[in-house]
């Protein structure tokens, strides 16, 4: 176990406190999409778009392409709203 000496401060991270910039939790939240596509396991509508925060189904789709387009559009709209 290392012990502090006169040359080593008791809390070495204090040396870098002015250099290191703190990251806010909102920075990480913006990187996560708010809407995602999930398989339904149903015969007619194979895919659904859902809001992650509320687990609410937004729409159901027969085509994965359409489900992904919807999700991408919603994530872009939500991203613009949260940046303002």
Q: Where are the domains of the chain?
A: 32-83
Per-residue pLDDT at 61: 95
Task: Give residue-wise pLDDT tens across range 24-70.
Answer: 555 444 556 799 999 999 999 999 999 998 989 999 999 999 999 99
pTM strictly above 0.75:
no
Q: Quickly count: other Cβ atoms within 10 Å of residue 48's Cβ.
A: 19
Per-residue pLDDT at 77: 87
Answer whether 45's CB lies under 8 Å from 58's CB.
no
Task: Give residue-wise pLDDT tens across range 62-80.
Answer: 999 999 999 999 999 887 6
Query: Which has the higher per-residue pLDDT, 18 or 56?
Result: 56
């Amino acid at each position: 176990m290392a012990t502090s000496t006169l040359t080593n401060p008791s809390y070495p991270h204090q040396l870098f406190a002015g250099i290191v910039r703190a990251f806010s939790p909102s920075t990480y939240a913006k990187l996560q999409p708010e809407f995602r596509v999930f398989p339904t396991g149903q015969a007619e509508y194979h895919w659904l778009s859902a809001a992650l925060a509320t687990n609410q189904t937004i729409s159901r789709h027969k085509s994965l392409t359409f489900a992904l387009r919807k999700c991408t559009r919603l994530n872009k709209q939500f991203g613009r709203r949260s940046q303002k």
